[in-house]
A and B are shown apart, each in its own frame.
Chain A
């Protein structure tokens, strides 16, 4: 571990950071370039590193929809609560989901009222839980992107192999490139460059962003999550802009490749099939969801309990949708810091540790 920590230090070196900031400022044009970091982990790293004010005037960093908790629609939470309340299911979830508001309640509030929710750290833990409680139906709340999909798929395959019939998944798995396409096409957002996620790209490969670069003429750079990764990624986007090109580049080549992790991709293809799905604040995006394939239908909670997740967004003062699309900054939302704070979140962007509003609130970006 010691050697690896020294390795991480190389990506946090203050002198290199300073040089990169100077290069970004030199390369910047008159108006700030509008770049979007798609992934919530980038959003947090940028806020934690104090990077946004460091680049003010040169670069406007917009935060994208890449926090899975934030984009999960309230109908999903309601469906999960109903499975627990009406079907007596034992719910297993990642901890971040607990405080996400549904239409009228959250898993945390319902837990206080007796709903059984177990926090797990891996989907496989939920299979183990099901095997240990054969008289209960265990439903795992499968929320995530391409990074989490292989783990959820692996859990489903494990349950199938071991014959754990009381295990199922309420899937809310989404894919990033489709959401990026919608944002790229939105004239209100006006994205001039995408800082593409590190971990997602390890799975899907940097080639996955090629259609976006080609079709919309928007430069894409895959970047790691360390401060220097982010600064170098931004600098690479600026260089593309200056050269007038739009291609996919990979700053995170120490881990992510152009083709990604084939094994994980095969696992996803085996267990899931693409579907249209609703994103909180954005709407339905074609082909951006992963539902459980028919051959694993007995592990699909929506099929098993005949309880489909309904996507029916309601109008409210919460502007998470515009925050998720990068149209406004959290501070421009009328609820931010008033009716919506981390202890009492109103919108999903304030709930998750990776939410844009939470990052702005916590680190004062």
Chain B
């Protein structure tokens, strides 16, 4: 099984920052199933993109403003949820804030692409591709697809699926899209906190809202303007919205 860890953070403190600097390299080293992961630039660097009546609407900031926000992500491969929970509970952010463990959608689900197949050959291939340095002059962005879970009509859904495939093909051809996959419904999430050495789990995403993250894409673009343009072409923006956020500079 493959899982997305959404690392959520709050107000930074010197004490916490020191722990993170010390512990995160060890966490990365000890997490064998880790495929890829990066911290994100702060929520101020986020843009949220919607397309309504053919107009691209861009707003500053993340799709939802909260005290705790997604500060990074990791894609991990584990045998089951228990293993994923243990990996999340070893992540130092879970000692201060929360780590949401969200399964990726099955490869057969609509919007899923068979890049995340369970067999380790393809996993290694994916890890290698994601590890390739971003080209000079380009920046990598995380797109989070924010959906409201209310099903579209069958025709609309078919159109979204078709247009998504076309978007992937087009962006892939231009070398823009490097990775993308649908996530299982937010109700399938488990939120992990560690307090006083005890792992505390809760059912559902770290923040319960009407809108939730339905999938992620990673794109490499020359800058935020190109990233917004590319995002606006994604069919999801016609019905929902996509948050675009650069990864933290190395």
Say if A and B assemble together: no
List residues of A whose CB falls within 8 A of some B CB.
Answer: none
List residues of B whose CB falls within 8 A of some A CB.
Answer: none
